[in-house]
Amino acid sequence: MSGAHFAFTDRWGGVSAVPYEELNLGGAVGDDPGSVRTNRELAATSLGLDPARVVWMKQVHGPDVVVVDEPWGERPVPEADAVVTTRRGLALAVLTADCTPVLLADPVAGVVAAAHAGRPGMVAGVVPAAVEAMVGLGAEPARIVARTGPAVCGRCYEVPDAMRAEVAAVEPGAYAETSWGTPAVDVTAGVHAQLERLGVRDREQSPVCTIESDDHFSYRREGLTGRLAGYVWLD
Ligand SMILES: [Zn+2]
């Protein structure tokens, strides 16, 4: 059952200036492109990855999944919020700053996936769609290992009452209340409820709440800020 690797970055160890300090890995948040390139190289190298063998997505908060077997190279990056591969050594990356990064691997089948699950993506079912794509490539839910990374927690993610009701109608597991007693959504809990129903039992959740942690980027806390990355790959 070995051979799958999961990693989540924090905000330190890069070259970006305020307000993206330091390890901003997002290329569409207004940071200097040279700094982002350097940060992506630093992050990949620290994980023992070839920066040219990391696949990034153009995330749009939707349910679409793409299957890849090589880096995009000069081709346009498709809009998708989940990416799946069977190619060993090819790392899949997801960018977040409060949304839930979801990494999935079936090391036996040799299939991995990375998904970006914010509130809209979780409701739209991007994580079940990623699992379905993995199953189509030979994965079995009972063998899938799932890891969710740093994200805004259900005690911090305040939403209007109507929005909570709308989300909970689709995914009751995401119903939450803030620490100050107002309506909230717990996206990560929703993701884990979805995975549980699909039979994905080997799951771990990062204890880090991005809004509460000064070591992580948080869009809701900071507005203009950087992006964290989650990486998954097979040996
Ligand atoms: Zn929190």
State the CATH number of the domain containing residue 55: 3.60.140.10
Please state the rounded mean pLDDT for residues 47-73: 96
Number of structural domains found in the chain: 1
> How far, in Å, from the CA of 196 to the mean position of ligand 1?
23
- For 199, the token pair is 């039979």
Q: Domain range spanning residue 130?
A: 4-234
> How many CB atoms are located within 10 Å of the residue 221 CB?
17
- Residues, Cβ < 5 Å to ion ligand 1: 153, 156, 209, 211-212
> How far, in Å, from the CA of 212 to the mean position of ligand 1?
5
Query: Tell me: the pLDDT tens digits for 109-159?
Result: 999 999 999 999 999 999 999 999 999 999 999 999 999 999 999 999 999
Q: Give the model's pLDDT for residue 164.
A: 98
Q: What are phi and psi of 158, to 5 degrees?
A: -75, 135
Q: Give the model's pLDDT for residue 1.
A: 46
Query: Tell me: the pLDDT tens digits for 3-34?
Result: 899 999 999 999 999 999 999 999 999 999 99
Query: At 2, is the pLDDT very low, low, confident or very high (cuts 50, 70, 90)?
Result: low
pTM of the predicted protein model: 0.97
Q: What are phi and psi of 43, to 5 degrees?
A: -65, -45
> How far, in Å, from the CA of 225 to the mean position of ligand 1?
18
HSE, side-chain direction, 13 A CA sphere, residue 74: 0
- Weakest-pLDDT range from 1-10, 49-58, 79-88, 140-149: 1-10
